[in-house]
Chains A and B, each alone.
Chain A
Amino acid sequence: MENLKLEGSAKTPTVNFDSSKGTLELKGRSIPENSIEFYKPLNDWIDAYAGSPQSSTVVDIKLEYFNTSSSKCILDLFKQLEKLNEKNTQVKVNWYFEEDDEDMAEAGEDYQAIIDLPFEMIEVEEI
């Protein structure tokens, strides 16, 4: 299947979903007014990937900012992966946040509490 690559913009993140490596990366900022439109192709890609996933799937979330419209879409994305997990692939989420960015660390904890997937919180100097 095709990989999904989207260049980041002032309001949307860089997307790098690679089916042969089993890596899904979101990087940058996600602050569109209407995020459903933006996230739809990502959900569709995961649906297609679910057909023949790699034995392990690594999700790297490296967001600097996201708005509340995106927060729901990100949750939906995790819920899709949650269904996939342990059926035919082991899913792991790496949640990156910048030093001292307690809000972003806490946002990761919020998802971790809702979603039944292994999360690793990774503090970095700069995203």
Chain B
Amino acid sequence: MSSELLTTILQIMESKMDRFEDRPKIKKKVFNVLVECLQNLYHHIDENMDDINTEQNEMNSLFMIAKSDGDYTITTGNYMKPAEVGSLKEKLDLINGMSKEELKEFYKHVLNEGTRSAKGTAGLGMIDIARKSGQELEYEFTPINDNLTFFNLSVRIEE
């Protein structure tokens, strides 16, 4: 997932949505969630690139978007180190347990108090995805071997 590929996917998706989606509100939500999901993949791979222990297939990622009955589902997947699963799962569960109002407060808290990584990520991505989607984030961790786990995330956008 390079910056160029990301731009291309976003352009393709945007022109498709311009043709097939006439609800501006939904179009904006889908585009917003797409940006965050794809940039999560990008940053994940970007971080791993600097790590000499990264195996080749760890750099692969998955992206799917489906539309059915007017609702969208955006699915992304990437490999990760099993040691990192715990903290991500904890964060997703915390987000899923929050009401709309709690998510808003949590977002503001992290925005204002949170620190930023050297790459400029602010830890706001998942919170923002959950806010825009308004649905529970569906996720799964599939252990591949001792060194790799596959993480997939599904985000629904409904009217």
Contact = CB atoms under 8 A, between A and B. Distances in A.
Contacts of B6: 33
Nearest to A101: B28
Contacts, number: 75
Size bin of chain A's contact surface: 20 to 34
B33 to A, nearest CB: 10
Nearest to A68: B124
Main secondary structure of the interface of A (DSSP, over half): helix
B7 A68 contact: no
B29 A103 contact: yes
B81 interface: no
A106 B132 CA distance: 11
Nearest to B6: A33
Interface in A4-25: 10-11
B120 A75 contact: no
B121 interface: yes
Given A34-B120, A103-B28, A106-B104, A68 B3 contact: no
Interface residues of B, number: 34
Nearest to A113: B108
A37 B118 CA distance: 11
Interface in A23-65: 31, 33-37, 64-65
Contact of B108 (A72, A100, A110): A110
Given A31-B35, A35-B120, A64-B28, 4 more contacts: A33-B3, A34-B119, A36-B116, A72-B111
Interface of A: 10-11, 31, 33-37, 64-65, 67-69, 71-73, 75, 98, 100-104, 106, 110, 113-114
